[in-house]
Structure formats: C-alpha cells, structure tokens
C-alpha cells in the first residue's frame, strides 16, 4: 500500500465488531462522568481509573466490571453510556456495524424498568446511526454468575419486551461453576423466537464447555473459544460446520486466559481452517480498541493489508446484520482497499 503504514491502514479500514460488551465499552472518559454522578467505589479521576483497571485474574476482572455496571442506575445514565460508546466506536475505530452484548438483568436489578431500558437502547441506536453512521444491534446475555433466575428474566426481557435491534441471545460471566447445560431450555426458547445463539464458552474452562455450547445451546458463534485449540476434534468440527470463534487477544491476556500473546491460539485456529473474527471484548478495561486488536492479529498471523481487509470482510459476513448492511459495509471495505492500493 502506497505511503501508509499497516496501523494507519487498519485505523481507516471500515470494520464490524461482534464481541464487545455494552458496559465494558465505557471508556475512562465515560466512566469518569458516571462515577462523578454516583460517587463510591469507582474513582472518577482518570489516572486512578487506570490503576482500577489493572486485573489480577478473571475473577478480579468480573469484580471490577460489576463495579462499573453499578454506575448505570438511571435511564439517563444508560442513554449517555450507549450514545457515547457509539461515538467512540465510529470516530476512532472506523466501525460501521457492531453487535453490542447487553445485560439487561443487572440494569433492571439496579432499578431501571425493562420498558425504560428497551426504549433507551433503541433511542440511542437510532441516534448512533443518524449521527455517526454506525449500525448497532443488540445481544442480550445471561450473567452466568446469577444463575437460573437471571436466565429466566433475561429470556422474558428478550421475548416479552423485544426491541427491533435485538438479534442474539448470549451467556457471559464466569464459566467455572456455571455449567452450560442448565441454560438449554432458555436458549431453545430464544432460538425458537428467532434469536441467534452466541454464548461465551472455553474462555477459562476446557473444550467440553464449547462442546456443550454447540450441542446443547445451539451456538452459531462462540465467544472466545480459547481452549478449542486443545481438542483437534473440536477444531475440525468448528471448521467443518463454519462456526466462527469471536477471538479477543488482549482480553485473553488481561484475564490470564492465555499467558502471553506468543502463546495465543489464534494461528492454530486459522491453520485448522476455523473461521475467526477479531474483537475487543471490553476495550477500555483492557487498554485496547479494535484497531489494536487487528494489529495484534496481523502480527500473530503475518498478515499484510489485504489479509487484514479479509478479517474485516469475515466479520461482516458472519454477523447478524441485515443483508443490505452487509453489502454496504463490504462495498466500503472494497473501495477503501482499492483507494489505498492506487
């Protein structure tokens, strides 16, 4: 590419993101504002926030994450969070489409009625598309640590208060001590209603969790799937059935799911023929963004600009975006590559 570094190319490349958490996308700027509104255990000073986000392990990450969740106490907080996340995604990362994983259970538990929650999400979604050209869709996930009551409520919110932007049904939070089979009835009901199955699995547990997600929850994509590399039969199954893994390299390092980037299984996935997408998970909490994750992937996989563009094409292709959005984003990617090559 003429006169452009790979990092510059990535920054301007139109992209889609499929594994990124709603509250977990709150930047220090956004968290600082929310912490000032609700003084408590989350610091409002940006420098202090950086120390607050230094994770010891996955359980500590969950603890910090839930502390930030606690700052979303009113519909106004939720609207501010969602709209400002969209601003940063579109303006700093050239995102054109994103599926944000939302956890309505925790917001309703904090006192925001599901009717207000739904209304605010949709209002922010329409505003983001109008103001930033960013198409948003929602995945409602069960916070696994809250068990079956959370699953039942999340399913009810998804089905009885369904919003136009809702496309998927997920499962997040800790995996250890939270067996996937207990959630099969909830995923069955969500899938019967037309929602797509996108559970987290194999981030901090072994391959059997991923098998459970596929066999029992009907997973169409796997969140993380890091431990799949330990099971050749699973890799073959993922490749044969074109079940994508939503790979989040920096997240895996920060939560100690993987010890070092050099040991990350991304290349093993690609070598096995598994479809992969590159994502940021909870980007400010891991001091990253989608641009950086693409740069890390390019380094791990030895990609040039054309290879990086193929990652972007894969993400939009395996998304749950409407066909016209897929076509538009693909067209933007192709035009960008052609312009950068001329």
- Find all residues with CB under 8 Å of 17, minimum gap 6, and list them: 89, 95, 97, 98, 99, 279, 280, 290, 315
Which residue reads 């606690």 in tokens?
70
pLDDT tens digits for range 216-269:
999 999 999 999 999 999 999 999 999 999 999 999 998 889 999 999 999 999
Reported as a single tens digit per residue, the pLDDT across 13-22 is 999 999 999 9
In the set 17, 84, 99, 203, the catalytic residue is 203
Confirm whether pTM is higher than 0.75. Answer: yes
Q: What is the mean pLDDT of the chain?
A: 94
Asked whether 246 and 279 are in contact (CB, 8 A), the reply is yes
Residue 246 is a catalytic residue:
no
- What would the two tokens of residue 7 be? 């990092």
Predicted local distance difference test score (pLDDT) of residue 95: 97
Classify domain 6-341 by CATH architecture: Alpha-Beta Barrel (3.20)
Domain residue ranges in the chain? 6-341
pLDDT value of residue 339: 94
Residues with Cβ within 8 Å of residue 309, at least 6 apart in sequence: 13, 333, 336, 337
Over residues 138-149, the pLDDT tens digits come to 999 999 999 999
Contacts of residue 117, Cβ cutoff 8 Å, sequence gap at least 6: 75, 78, 104, 107, 108, 157
Indicate whether 325 pLDDT > 90: yes
- Name, in order, each residue with C-beta under 8 angstroms of 193's C-beta and a sequence gap of 6 or more: 158, 159, 162
Nearest in space to 121 (alpha carbons), one of 136, 143, 111 = 136
pLDDT digits (tens, 9 = 90+) for 150-199: 999 999 999 999 999 999 999 999 999 999 999 999 999 999 999 999 99
Token readout for 54 is 């230094």
Neighbour count for residue 141 (Cβ, 10 Å)? 26
Query: Over the stretch 258-284, which tens digit does the pLDDT of each residue have?
Result: 999 999 999 999 999 999 999 999 998
The alpha carbon of residue 159 and the mean position of all alpha carbons in its chain are separated, in whole angstroms, by: 21
- Predicted confidence band of residue 307 (pLDDT cuts 50, 70, 90): very high
168 and 177 in contact (C-beta within 8 Å)? no
């Amino acid at each position: 590419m003429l006169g452009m570094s790979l990092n510059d190319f990535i920054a301007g490349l139109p992209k889609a993101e499929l594994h990124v958490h709603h509250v977990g996308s709150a930047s220090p700027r956004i968290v600082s504002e929310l912490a000032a509104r609700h003084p408590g255990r989350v610091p409002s000073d940006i420098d202090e926030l950086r120390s607050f986000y230094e994770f010891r392990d996955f359980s500590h990450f969950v603890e910090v994450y839930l502390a930030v969740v606690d700052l979303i106490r009113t519909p106004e907080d939720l609207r501010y969070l969602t709209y400002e996340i969209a601003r940063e995604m579109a303006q700093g990362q050239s995102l054109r489409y994103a599926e944000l994983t939302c956890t309505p259970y925790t917001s309703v538990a904090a006192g925001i009625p599901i009717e207000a929650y739904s209304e605010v999400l949709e209002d922010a979604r329409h505003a983001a598309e109008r103001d930033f050209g960013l198409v948003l869709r929602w995945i409602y996930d069960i916070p696994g640590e809250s068990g079956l009551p959370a699953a039942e409520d999340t399913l009810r919110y998804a089905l009885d208060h369904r919003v136009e932007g809702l496309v998927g049904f997920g499962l997040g939070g800790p995996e250890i001590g939270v067996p996937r089979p207990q959630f099969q009835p909830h995923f069955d009901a969500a899938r019967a209603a037309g929602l797509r199955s996108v559970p987290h699995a194999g981030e901090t547990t072994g391959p059997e969790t991923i098998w459970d997600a596929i066999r029992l929850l009907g997973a169409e994509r796997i969140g993380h799937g890091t431990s799949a590399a330990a099971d050749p039969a699973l890799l073959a199954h993922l490749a044969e059935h074109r079940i994508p893994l939503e790979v989040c390299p920096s997240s895996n390092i920060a939560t100690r799911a993987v010890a070092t980037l050099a040991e990350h299984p991304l290349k093993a996935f690609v070598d096995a023929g598994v479809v992969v997408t590159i994502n940021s998970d909870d980007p400010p909490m891991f001091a990253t963004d989608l641009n950086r994750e693409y740069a890390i992937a390019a380094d791990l996989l030895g990609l040039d600009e054309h290879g990086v563009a193929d990652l972007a094409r894969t993400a939009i292709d395996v998304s749950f975006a409407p066909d016209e959005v897929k076509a538009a984003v693909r067209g933007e990617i192709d035009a960008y590559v052609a312009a950068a090559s001329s």
